Copies of this chain bind each other. A is one copy, B any other.
């Protein structure tokens, strides 16, 4: 994935080093700013969504961008990311993780700015749009993200890849659903994310067998006649089981076999 240096000609250039002594390198006093950008995902019936804002200040005022902000003097980048997310959505306690530091000296036309990108998963319904009027925020489909400023599209692509990677190994996608959800709902989410179809019976058993879910009394009668049971995460098992989830897509396969898709009834 994020290999910085290629493995080629490993031992190629073992140049003789100038005998310069170890010393703290000196750099020009050029100011470097540290910022955070949040790649915020949500999910609705249409599919995976990305939350973007209309930039309210120069440079690039009026254009679409990720929500971001500078890291304050008394903040870590995590603090800043949590603050920025809260400013936009009003939400707290959200799943968030470091994605990648973007630090090319050319990336921002203005001052030199390094950006720590975070990706976050929220329940789209818990987000109150009126809170972000100031930011002119909107949800855009994650499959067709419009042109954003700077390198923000690159960040989004990386975040989507990371999400697909992690969600195949860890029970991450629950973060995109409301507290109570049905297994068919979850299946749609997986199917959208991986652009594939799963056999409903097998999907059901696979999810149940994780032991991470608690079945509730109620059924969701909106989407089918029979109705599907609502489930909730078993918080305790969720924490434990985070690292021992199931491979949905990135299955370890020894031979270069074609990835089989589960059948689906038409």
Contact of A1 with B by CB under 8 A: yes
A71 → chain B closest CB, angstroms: 7
Contact of A97 among B1, B6, B252, B253 (CB under 8 A): B1
Copy number in the complex reads 2
**Cβ of A264 < 8 Å from any Cβ of B?**
no
A9 pairs with B254, CB closer than 8 A: no
In the assembled complex, the CB of A107 is this many whole angstroms from the nearest CB of chain B, namely: 8
Q: A196 contacts the other chain (Cβ, under 8 Å)?
A: no
CA of A51 to CA of B258, assembled, Å:
41
For window 1-40 of chain A, which residues contact chain B by CB distance below 8 Å?
1-15, 17, 19-25, 27-34
Contact in complex: A103, B71 (CB < 8 Å): yes
A73 interface hit (Cβ, 8 Å)? yes
Contact A97 B9, beta carbon cutoff 8 Å? no
Does A116 sit at the interface, judged by CB under 8 A? yes
Task: Give me the interface of A with B, judged by CB distance under 8 Å.
Answer: 1-15, 17, 19-25, 27-34, 53, 56-57, 69-78, 81-82, 87, 90-98, 100-101, 103-105, 112, 114, 116, 118, 123, 126, 128, 131, 134-135, 169, 175, 179, 206, 209-211, 235, 237-238, 240-247, 250-256
29 A-B pairs in the complex with CB atoms less than 8 angstroms apart: A3-B97, A4-B82, A5-B92, A7-B175, A10-B91, A10-B92, A11-B91, A11-B126, A12-B92, A12-B93, A14-B92, A14-B128, A22-B53, A23-B57, A27-B70, A27-B72, A27-B73, A32-B32, A34-B114, A71-B114, A75-B105, A78-B103, A98-B101, A169-B250, A206-B254, A209-B254, A210-B254, A211-B256, A244-B252
